[in-house]
Chain A
Amino acid sequence: MPLRERLRAIPARWILLGLAGLLIVVLLFGVALGPVHIPVATVFSILLHHLPGLEGLTPVTWTSAEETIVWTLRLPRVLLAAAVGGGLAAAGVSMQGLFKNPLADPYIVGISSGATLGATIVLVAGWNVTELAIGSFVLELPELGYGLMSLAAFLAALGIVGLVYRLARTGTGLPLTTLLLAGLAMSALASALTALVIYLSPQQRASIFLWLMGGIQSSWTAVGFVVPAVAIGALVLILWARDLDALSLGDEQALFLGVEVERRKRHFLLVSTLVTAVGASFVGIIGFVGLIIPHMLRLVLGPLHRLLLPASVLGGASFLVLCDLIARTVLSGVEIPVGIITALAGTPFFLFLLVRSKAFGGEFH
């Protein structure tokens, strides 16, 4: 495929710079566009105005409503979308390399069902519950309001993955097939529990469905949690990129190349889980980003993770910001859950890739 050869000839740094540039453009689009029309110049002025030291640069010609929309509603939302999208893509690359399977996604070890279970329990118990009583043991819960759901989702996701890990771990190592099966089993269990809880409280069914579909909030708090987590996580994964290359050749070869195989697998699993769970606890389950973006970029840029990881982070961020933009502007005034858009956008891409790869004789990677 001549395109691929040409692309692979371009040095890595230009590709990454290009993707970074794309992300910046997409972010600006995301802040400038929305259901309420605000002139682009105004948007820029508002943004500049908030940068420390540059307040005096432009006179205030906008309404407070416009300022709220741009700074309080749109900006944190696109930043959150970028962080979550990048995190999911990075986690997706890790999982695909770890499992040597291009169909792995970040949720594969049970994160999605765990997070959903945690959120459902809080939702049904009442979001303003302040204490949890089990028998005579009373646990004081922090007054987080809505944030309690995020915390519960995060902890439950980690809990499920921890259980999966313990189940799969043998004395000497972490066989991947067992990990996968344990992940499937625990996911099924968590999903069944969630379904049971929902069934017993019909009022909450719609709410959980919406949470499952994914929705990106306009919350600087969420940004404050997610952006640093994803940034650090992605950076760490990129540093370990070569180990992912080695692991993708097989456990034994990686061992001979000097990789502490079992430790590294644990590390990758842990970091991917944290990055994914932090995102999921604030925005729900957004699918396809962690599967499509790494896959597409691998087809085009090759399997070298030192390039693929940062490229996926940037690509995933741009993708999710764009999907979120579509989710909130396509039906004027009405917001569609973003998970629907990613699925609608992702599926044709996926099919296109499938057809293309079959046409080229099964070069599926």
Chain B
Amino acid sequence: MSAPAEPRPRRPLVLAVAALLTVAGIAAAWWAIAELSEKPPEVGGLSSSIAYEGEPFSYVPNATQAGFWTLQTNASWLSVEPTSGRLSGTPPASGGSYYAALTLTNANGTAELNLTITVKLRLVDDGGRELVLDRPAERLISLAPSNTELLFALGVGGRVVGTAPFSDYPPEASEIPVVVSLGYLDTELIVTLEPDLIFAAGITSPAQRTQLEDLGLPTLVLEPKNLSGIVENIFLAGRAVGAQVAAQRLAENFTAGWENVTRTLANVTSFPRTFYLMDTFGGYWTAGSGTFIDEFIREAGGTNIASEISGWFIFSAENITASDPEVIILAAYAMVDETTFASDPFWGQLTAVKEGRVYRITDQNLFDRPGPRLVMGLEILAQWLHPEAYAAP
């Protein structure tokens, strides 16, 4: 039986509940949608960085999300790894600034990072000191004749604005103003010349080095210990002045000359006992192991009778007599008169004198200056020690 009118007031309650549920449901859906959709990515990192000429450069940006990286830059050497955003590359030359714009793209959007990269030149000299220049040096000062020779050989002689005394090779070098007088640096002159780089050397005295430090100007110390060191110096100097090509060529010439000697002497069987006399003050000064002369004698196929002791020292006349050198090399400035050797009671009994194999160096710079011409000294010495290998076939 159907009942007559039932409570109609029940329906508004249901409606209200339904409406409420609907509203709640819509709100929930809205909230869910909002939650499930991502923010755009963000990127961070340094806005400027330094790269060094010839050295691999690497840079990794920070990002909040993963994505796809792209690069826009005017640095041809720079590339980006798409997934990590790592920038890498090796700048070939210093002195410039580049921009790099990194873009990260993903589903949530894009982010950009702008970066300025400055390329500098990092040099490490023979003293282990590190020097950073903005660009290869233009205005140069050399504090040793050997450095002057090297710079001219690299073709940048025109850029040398100040030099050391006795810089006489090549002849043009004598025209350059000298910045050292009586053992002291002319600091005012040096500062006036506004050098970009100063080439010091082994002969730069401690007093002068202190002066250089006080000046605060960029300084490179070239102090090679052996022939290989000269080759390294060539490259170092080449980089420092932006003359890498010339440096390459120069190094090849040097090495070629060196190898020439080695080759010529390849079949030599005897290594004559050699005595090098530098000077006679207080006794007979000679060069022991660790010196250039010692290396020369070895490379030229001889045996240095003084090689058991290191460095430069006064060699006892008794040891000289006992070693009985077969060849005697006299430095250009050694204060002895070799014409009297034959009749001298000490010199006359040495084999070298008896066989007439006493040689005096004419151009001492070929033996003393640690520069590119050193290889010429080596050749001369080899000819003296092994004339038979150099005789015309």
Contact = CB atoms under 8 A, between A and B. Distances in A.
Q: Indicate if A touches B (C-beta under 8 A).
A: yes
Interface of A: 34-36, 64-65, 68-69, 72-74, 127, 145-146, 199-200, 202, 206-207, 210-211, 213, 215, 218, 220, 328, 333-337
Contact of A334 (B183, B281, B316): B316
16 contacts: A64-B349, A68-B346, A73-B321, A145-B335, A146-B280, A199-B182, A202-B183, A210-B282, A218-B317, A218-B346, A328-B316, A333-B315, A333-B319, A335-B282, A335-B316, A337-B282
A34 B324 CA distance: 17
A334 B321 contact: no
9 tightest Cβ-Cβ pairs between the two chains A and B: A210-B282, A207-B281, A36-B318, A72-B345, A215-B282, A36-B322, A335-B314, A35-B316, A210-B281
Nearest to A74: B318
Nearest to B313: A334
B282 A69 contact: no
B346 A72 contact: yes
Interface string B2-20: 0000000000000000000
A127 B308 CA distance: 32
A334 B349 contact: no
**In this complex, which of A34, A35, A333, A335 has the most chain B Cβ atoms within 10 angstroms of its Cβ?**
A333
Contacts, number: 74
Given A73-B318, A199-B182, A210-B281, A333 B309 contact: yes
A34 B345 contact: no
A199 B184 CA distance: 11
Given A206-B281, A213-B282, A333-B309, 20 more contacts: A34-B316, A35-B318, A35-B319, A36-B318, A36-B319, A65-B324, A65-B349, A69-B318, A69-B322, A202-B182, A202-B183, A210-B281, A218-B346, A328-B318, A333-B315, A333-B319, A334-B313, A334-B316, A335-B283, A335-B314
B355 interface: no
How many chain B residues sit at the interface, stated as a range, is 20 to 34
Contacts of B182: 199-200, 202
A145 B314 CA distance: 21
A145 B282 contact: no
Contacts of B306: 333
Interface in B290-329: 306, 308-309, 313-319, 321-322, 324
B279 interface: yes
Nearest to A201: B182
A215 B279 contact: no
Given A34-B316, A145-B337, A333 B279 contact: no
A281 to B, nearest CB: 15
Contacts of B337: 145
Given A65-B349, A206-B281, A335-B282, A127 B318 contact: no
Interface of B: 182-183, 279-283, 306, 308-309, 313-319, 321-322, 324, 335, 337, 345-346, 349
Nearest to B308: A333
Given A68-B349, A333-B309, A211 B316 contact: no
**In this complex, which of B281, B306, B315 has the most chain A Cβ atoms within 10 angstroms of its Cβ?**
B281
A68 B321 contact: yes
B283 A215 contact: yes
A34 B280 CA distance: 20
A72 B309 CA distance: 24
Given A200-B182, A218-B317, A337-B282, A146 B322 contact: no
B341 to A, nearest CB: 13
Nearest to B279: A207
B335 A146 contact: yes
Contacts of B335: 127, 145-146
Contact of A34 (B279, B282, B315, B318): B318
Contacts of A73: 317-318, 321, 346
Contacts of A36: 316, 318-319, 321-322
**In this complex, which of B183, B282, B317 has the most chain A Cβ atoms within 10 angstroms of its Cβ?**
B282
A69 B349 CA distance: 10
A218 B319 CA distance: 14
Contacts of B316: 34-36, 328, 333-335
Contacts of B281: 206-207, 210-211
Contacts of A328: 316, 318
Contact of A65 (B313, B315, B321): B321
Contacts of A333: 306, 308-309, 313, 315-316, 319
Contacts of B345: 68, 72, 220
A213 B315 CA distance: 17
A202 B335 CA distance: 17
A197 to B, nearest CB: 12
B144 to A, nearest CB: 14
B182 to A, nearest CB: 7
A333 B309 CA distance: 8
Nearest to A218: B317
A355 B313 CA distance: 38
Contact of A69 (B183, B308, B321): B321
